[in-house]
Structure 1
């Protein structure tokens, strides 16, 4: 199973480089206080540095706003992931604990103002691609039982099952999200800023060190750009997946959880 960046993406965004950290054999079920402390600290720091009004003026955010505009998406309606994190902390809100891998990549995202996300490798189906949509591809947003259909020309991460991250890095999907059961992960770090590859590589190495220190697992780092647009994940993933269909049992579960949340809010 490969990860491939479409040459058409590089034609429109030639400065794009992506760091991928493949981590195998992790225990993602624990709460790790050291990671949560790092995340609280960087959240407080960025919250003091930014107001919700000046986030878009930052160079590292502005480049993503312009990138979104180039494929027809308004970045104030659909925030790039780094803008969404900064907006939250600028408004005095904490970044919530999710699980160790997500907490750690959110820390590094705020530290270096880079969009960071990822995929549970065992839930991918076929090659992962960063490409333009043809229109009509299925997308099931994180935490939702609603199915969306992509328009034509959106930048998206996709596999054979559907869109795994829509509008480039705006929203991840339910199927390949990191959970406390994730064992094999691909963490994806994106840059459009013309940062020197040596500096970008140093950030990736720092992330590797953090993963080894706090979480563990076997690490395989990769750097992708126009000259090196694909890597082999060396996993099989799932043979079948179809995000346009949600099992009835899963729908019932989500509806029960939603009702429970409403009950808790009332009480």
Structure 2
């Protein structure tokens, strides 16, 4: 399987960077108490910070809102997923644990102020293209709705679109039966390449500490537009 970054995105934002982590032989289960505790503590600390600071003042969220507008979408109507998480926490509507892969994915997203996605590799058919979507692009999302993705960065395989920094689809969701997965890190465009690599590698290391298995990673950018998994 090849994952390719489409030129349409690079023409709008030449500094865009997408981290990819490929996991094999992982075991997904109920989150260990350490992860549950860390997730809860982070949300509680963030809630108090949000009493003094608005969601859109956080640098990562601010940067993704700017990119959202560049791509042609309205961040006040279709918010980047990390912003949606922060707004939930501001209302003390904390995220409850689901399973280890999703919980850690959410922790990474909140901790680094960036959208994240994780997908079951066995549910993806053919190559994957990361591109800007049209008015017709839509799928049934994890939010329980049919989501239209016009002007939103989207991942698409042979069957159709399945992921984005807005909301992911039900079709490719990771479950406790997943053993091979890949994680998409929607990095801040301002983060330089070396720091991006270090961040993605550290995420892969922490993920395999909890789930076992192996992790390989790369950064898609203007100089590295595709990667074979």
- Give the structure-2-normalised TM-score: 0.91
Q: Is the 8 A contact 2:59 2:113 kept in 1?
A: no
Which SS does the other structure have where 2:194 is aligned? Answer: helix
Equivalent residue, structure 1, for 2:47: 47
Describe the shift of the 1:108–1:138 C-alpha distance in structure 2 as closer, same or farther (beyond 3 A). closer
Q: Does the 8 Å CA contact 1:24/1:185 hold for their aligned counterparts?
A: yes
Structure 2 Cα separation of the partners of residues 79 and 149 of structure 1: 13
Q: Whole-Å Cα distance in 1 between the matches of residues 51 and 74 of structure 2? A: 20
- 1:52 is displaced (CA, Å) by 9.3
Determine whether 1:156 maps to 2:154: yes
What's the counterpart of residue 217 of structure 1? 213
TM-aligned CA deviation for residue 192 of structure 1: 2.7
Cross-structure match for 1:60: 60
The aligned counterpart of 2:11 is 11
Q: Within 5 Å, give how 1:82-231 maps onto structure 2.
A: 82-142=82-142, 144=144, 147=146, 150-151=149-150, 153-165=151-163, 168-231=164-227
Secondary structure of 1:20's counterpart equals strand
Instruction: Provide the C-alpha distance between the structure 2 equivalents of 1:177 and 1:51, rounded to a whole number of angstroms.
Output: 33
Equivalent residues of 2:205, 2:215 under 8 A apart: no
How far 1:138 moved relative to its partner? 4.2
- Structure 1 contact 60–193 (Cα < 8 Å) conserved: no
Residues 98, 147 of structure 1: alpha-carbon distance in 2 compared, 3 angstrom cutoff = same
Q: 1:51 Cα shift?
A: 4.1
Deviations 1:97-130 (A, max 9, x none): 1211111121121111121112111101111111
- Distance (whole Å) between structure 1 residues aligned to residue 178 and residue 138 of structure 2: 23
TM-score, scaled relative to structure 1 = 0.79
State the structure with more CA Rg.
Answer: 1
CA distance in structure 1 between the aligned counterparts of 2:27 and 2:129, rounded to whole angstroms: 27
> How many residue pairs get matched?
229
Deviations 1:7-49 (A, max 9, x none): 1111111111111111111111333211111211221222221
SS of corresponding position for 2:110: helix
Spell out, residue by residue over 1:143-165, the C-alpha distance to the aligned partner (whole angstroms, 9 max, x if none).
64x655554x4431111212112
Residue 133 of structure 1 and its aligned partner are, at CA, apart by 2.3
Structure with higher RCO (Cα < 8 A, 6+ apart): 2
Q: 1:86 and 1:138, CA in 2 relative to 1: closer, same or farther beyond 3 A?
A: closer
CA RMSD of aligned residues (A): 2.0
Shift of 1:212: 2.1
Contact 2:12 2:71 in 1 (8 A): no
Change (3 A) 1:182 1:52: farther
